[in-house]
Structure 1
């Protein structure tokens, strides 16, 4: 190697080491700060940016989604480390069925494999993680439905941590579904119209036995809710970050939690 090139290579390596050390130091400090305050009980995440991340690195959309799946595994660990008890993620919306057929097929295959894996995952059983799917599962392929049932049945008795995956989910559809169920209960004489209130309505949603999200986090720079938990997020704190989901770092997650901790929640008061 020529002396100049060798010197530049050494400088580059030194810069990389310094940057990495600074990053790790900042992450540890931020983690310590966050742990000193109350963390949200329920975090909900709109995992956005897989395809744009893939495009930026010359990857296929499927490869981008696989990167996103791996990132979700990390975020699950981060939640448990901090003491967050409920994680709900927007995995696949009803609108996503309108995407390219090949992309949808590859996602369905990934879901099927992932749900079977979750049902067998040693970490899931060791930590007592209850896996649950929210959405119109009748829209999903039979193989995915069976995989979902396998994961849910395998973790049905757990209650240490709640891991909810909104799949084939749309909040407007969820609300309509709840209204129809309530109407049927009234028609059958099991429910009086005068008894219908917010609590009653919530009990007919997919999230019936879950607390509302304390924090809604969305990646990729988009600042919208995209038909996700519209009823449940009435008093949630919202946090948006420009980072694409596969590139979402622990520092980014800790910043979101810290932002939540610095806010004064008023619950509409």
Structure 2
């Protein structure tokens, strides 16, 4: 039994026609603290600037033809173990920024990760913003909060096994387990996988960001820290992407 799934020749040909621009752009908005230290700003100031940059970035993304999904990763499972004052300031900015996104009426908000591990006032605010956009026929913006890739895959397996255990079909699952079974239980179920991952601030690693979904994504490592990220940086990433020959491992 093979667990490896690759696109058919016909599907690859169709994708090639569409791939001058990505359908799904995922972003690791890194470099905030380094930028703050270099410019003499407080952590709270840089969090606010990072939130403002998210709003700018989404405005730029509206001009990308064929784009259906944007994913942003402002808080990892590791980040929540930083000093409480730092985390409190960051999650408040995330909640405020998310509400501002909802108020634009231009995006449908979804969450990845485990945002309900945050303080109740924050989770209530996040839920309100998502509910406000739930019925919108708009591109999706995923906000990954208290997110880690291994945690997501673990939760996917737990949900998958539990559903089959309750249905009495574990033996069937063991015999017929496929990648689609796992994908259907990920936080991004029903969405296209990222085509382009942009990491700001120059670090050349994904740090556990969407490991299942980014198997065939193109990874662009931008040297600019997130607070200083510009539309020119995005345009450079998109131009770089348009020149990539995507082979999906073949």
Smaller-chain TM-score bracket = 0.7 to 0.9
Give the structure 2 partner of residue 88 of structure 1.
71
Structure 2: 5+ residue stretches without partners: 1-18
Q: Secondary structure at the match of 2:146?
A: strand
**Are 1:262 and 2:243 counterparts?**
yes
Give the structure 2 partner of residue 100 of structure 1.
83
How many residues in Structure 1 have an aligned counterpart in Structure 2? 228
Residue 66 of structure 1, CA deviation: 1.1
Give the alignment partner of residue 114 of structure 2, picking from 126, 136, 139.
Answer: 136
Q: Secondary structure at the match of 1:81?
A: coil
Q: Secondary structure at the match of 2:237?
A: helix
Residue 195 of structure 1, CA deviation: 3.2
**Are 1:250 and 2:250 counterparts?**
no
CA deviation profile, 1:148-185 (whole Å, cap 9, x unmatched): 11111111112321111001111100110011111112
**Are 1:171 and 2:149 counterparts?**
yes
Give the structure 2 partner of residue 111 of structure 1.
94
Give the structure 1 partner of residue 14 of structure 2.
none
Q: Secondary structure at the match of 2:167?
A: coil
**Given that residues 73 and 143 in structure 2 are in contact (C-alpha distance below 8 angstroms), is that contact kept between their aligned partners in structure 1?**
yes
Give the Cα–Cα distance (whole angstroms) in 2 for the partners of residues 60 and 229 of structure 1.
30
* Pairing 1:15-30 to 2, within 5 Å after superposition: none
Give the Cα–Cα distance (whole angstroms) in 2 for the partners of residues 105 and 137 of structure 1.
13
RMSD, aligned α-carbons: 1.4
TM-score between the two structures when normalised by the length of structure 1:
0.81
Give the Cα–Cα distance (whole angstroms) in 1 for the partners of residues 210 and 137 of structure 2.
22
Give the Cα–Cα distance (whole angstroms) in 2 for the partners of residues 71 and 141 of structure 1.
24
Give the Cα–Cα distance (whole angstroms) in 2 for the partners of residues 260 and 116 of structure 1.
31
TM-score between the two structures when normalised by the length of structure 2:
0.87
**Given that residues 112 and 147 in structure 1 are in contact (C-alpha distance below 8 angstroms), is that contact kept between their aligned partners in structure 2?**
yes
Residue 91 of structure 1, CA deviation: 1.2
Residue 98 of structure 1, CA deviation: 1.7
More helix by share: 1
Q: Secondary structure at the match of 1:225?
A: coil
